[in-house]
Amino acid sequence: MVMTEMHRGSCHGRDNAEVDVVKAVADVEERQQHNQGGEGAWEAARKACGEADAFAIQSNERGIVARDSGAFAWEIVPIEVPVGRGKPPVLIEKDESLDKFDPAKLKKLRPSFKENGGTVTAGNASSISDGAAALVLVSGQKAQELGLQVLARIRGYADAAQAPELFTTTPALAIPKAIANAGLESSHVDFYEINEAFSEKINVHGGAVSLGHPLGCSGARILVTLLGVLSMSRLGTTEAVVPLLTES
């Protein structure tokens, strides 16, 4: 969301706010789209387009299984969307992107950013989508005072940084640090929920490729989805990791 005239200050009246998705998914230093950064990461790892497609298909299949089993029911609040004068509103109560999944078509899509040897397509990258998510963070003491049911506890966190064009692999640097800061080892982690904008323990209910990647929403969304995974787990006390990608 961009306030276009705020550099001049604001008086009484109406201010204009614009949503510029192109700018929102661009690296301000390299002036390239995030998906182009995804191409660079795949090249560095020497991965082929077929592998990216296979990962995307797996993500969608997991998402469909989770949706059909009711795994997302507790975390989604249905909303009514007006569609026009004289027409009843449409009730949205599930993620729409999963309905568009067609594995045969996905495999035939051409690369979007690099014609020869490219890997990122409209099918194996997260789609542009709308959404909102919210959660409540409280101290253990306050939760006890208010009688709230605690869904999970934050045991540790960390951050990491590298060149902007390498942003897609930065979570691999932050995850070990966060696990260590929590006093754990990787073998203790039962689940990972990773924002796979471009998996037994990883994204077991699907990820951003299948469920969508609404700008400004994904951080809370993947955490809430992970809470659902933990609540359905039969492992007893579980440890999980949530990494996020950001650029500054």
What single-letter DSSP state applies at residue 187?
G
Residue 113: predicted pLDDT? 73
pLDDT digits (tens, 9 = 90+) for 192-221: 888 766 555 678 888 887 887 777 787 888
pLDDT surpassing 60 at residue 248: no
Higher pLDDT, 82 or 126: 82
Mean pLDDT for the stretch of residues 11-22? 61
pLDDT surpassing 80 at residue 165: no
Residue 62: predicted pLDDT? 92
Instruction: Note the CATH number of domain 140-241.
Output: 3.40.47.10
**b/e sequence 150-172, b meaning 16+ C-beta within 10 Å:** eeeeeeeeeeeeeebbebbebbe
pLDDT surpassing 80 at residue 127: no
Entry pTM: 0.70
How much is the mean pLDDT over the chain?
80
Structural domain boundaries in the chain: 27-108, 140-241
Amino acid at 90: V
pLDDT digits (tens, 9 = 90+) for 107-117: 998 887 777 76
Closest CA to 63 of 232, 204, 196: 204
Mean pLDDT for the stretch of residues 208-236? 81
For 16-131, list the strands marked E by DSSP.
17-18, 79-81, 90-92
| Residue 178 CB burial class (10 angstroms; 0-12, 13-18, ≥19) | buried
